[in-house]
Amino acid sequence: MNVLEFQKQKSKTKLSMVTCYDAWSAKLIAGTSVDSILVGDSLAMVMHGHSTTLPANVAMMELHTQAVARGLAGSNKLLVADLPFISYRQDLKTSVRAAGRMMKAGAHAVKLEGAKGNLEMIAHLVDSGIPVMGHLGLTPQSIHQLGGFKVQGNNPAEFERIHHEAEQLEKAGCFSVVLECVPSALAAKITQDIKIPTIGIGAGPDTDGQVLVLQDMLGLNEGFKPKFLRTFMSGAELMKKALNDYDTEVKKATFPTAKESY
């Protein structure tokens, strides 16, 4: 699915997106019906053990995007890569360079957070042939300003601001926008009022699609249970059982058998 096909799905079939940070899970996702993949800067937390996404940098995002693109070889998944914290807030030249590195690493589009101060740069990226996905609501790169991972757009002024920013992102040329942790009513209104697909995470059922962090939806992120998350597999339990079974068989010397030996 390319960016244009992704856009055409608005109001037709809901779009599915998951994060992915490495080649082997990309290869696995390539064999599923999931539409698109995000190399999210959440990799700083999930893969590198940081407590926020702020430590992600362009080199890190580039390396993981390259790995995911290799894993997706021959598949038709739309691959979006996050521009990390501050990489698109210095000047136009630096932003273009960062976005260019993601595209050369194999991404089909980049995602960046917020509207204020980004609109001119988004238009320039789009004019340079780089499709841009916006991200509004809970924008994790601003976590210290937001005071934590909290629902955004709860009061009328914030509701109006986020709605207006979605319209601005559309006007600047974004092909889609992620809405993270906003009231369902706000996500529904934005989805109705703009022509580009909205992809929700903690934004209720009325967006044009949904995105989840792969490890979260597979139940691999033990103890992480926000209201919006549904786990589609008990991944951590299954993995621990397999590891304990392996350990037991090794200790009992029942693995490997003659059949498993040369």
Residues in the chain: 262
Please identify, using beta-carbon distances, which residue of 42 and 176 lies nearer to ligand KIV. 42
Using DSSP, state whether 247 is helix, strand or coil: helix
- First-last CA distance in the chain: 45
Q: How far is CA 32 from CA 27, 29, 35, 76, in A?
A: 9, 5, 9, 11
Residue 221 in the binding site for ligand KIV (CB under 6 A): no
Using DSSP, state whether 132 is helix, strand or coil: strand
Q: Report, in Å, the least distance between residue 173 CB and ligand KIV.
A: 19
Spell out, one character per residue from 90 to 129, where the chain touches ligand KIV: x when CB under 6 A holds, - when not.
----------------------------------------
User: Are the beta carbons of 172 and 131 closer than 8 angstroms?
Assistant: no
Q: Which of 40, 22, 215 is nearest to 224 (CA)?
A: 215
Please identify, using beta-carbon distances, which residue of 30 and 211 lies nearer to ligand KIV. 211
Return the residue of 30, 35, 36, 41 that touches ligand KIV, per CB under 6 A: 41
| CA 135 – CA 110 distance, rounded (Å) | 11
Number of residues in contact with ligand KIV, rule: CB under 6 A? 11
User: Are the beta carbons of 98 and 58 closer than 8 angstroms?
Assistant: yes
Q: CA 139, 143, 146: angle at the middle one, nearest 5?
A: 90
Please identify, using beta-carbon distances, which residue of 35 and 41 lies nearer to ligand KIV. 41
Provide the residue type at 251 as one letter. K
Stretch that binds ligand KIV, among 34-42, 150-158, 167-175, 239-247 (CB under 6 A): 34-42
Please identify, using beta-carbon distances, which residue of 95 and 207 lies nearer to ligand KIV. 207
User: Are the beta carbons of 122 and 177 closer than 8 angstroms?
Assistant: no
Q: Report, in Å, the least distance between residue 158 CB and ligand KIV.
A: 19
Residue 180 is among the residues annotated as catalytic for this protein: yes
Q: Report, in Å, the least distance between residue 178 CB and ligand KIV.
A: 5
Q: Report, in Å, the least distance between residue 238 CB and ligand KIV.
A: 23
Residue 178 in the binding site for ligand KIV (CB under 6 A): yes
| CA 50 – CA 98 distance, rounded (Å) | 22
User: Are the beta carbons of 23 and 49 closer than 8 angstroms?
Assistant: no
Which residue's Cβ lies closest to ligand KIV?
40
Dihedral over alpha carbons 83, 181, 18, 240 (to 10 degrees): 110
Return the residue of 42, 65, 176, 198 that touches ligand KIV, per CB under 6 A: 42
Q: Which of 180, 237, 249, 260 is the catalytic position?
A: 180
Residue 25 in the binding site for ligand KIV (CB under 6 A): no
Spell out, one character per residue from 184 to 203, where the chain touches ligand KIV: x when CB under 6 A holds, - when not.
-----------------x--
Which residues are marked as active site? Answer: 180
- Residues forming contacts to ligand KIV in the complex (CB under 6 A) are 19, 38, 40-42, 82, 178, 180, 201, 211, 213
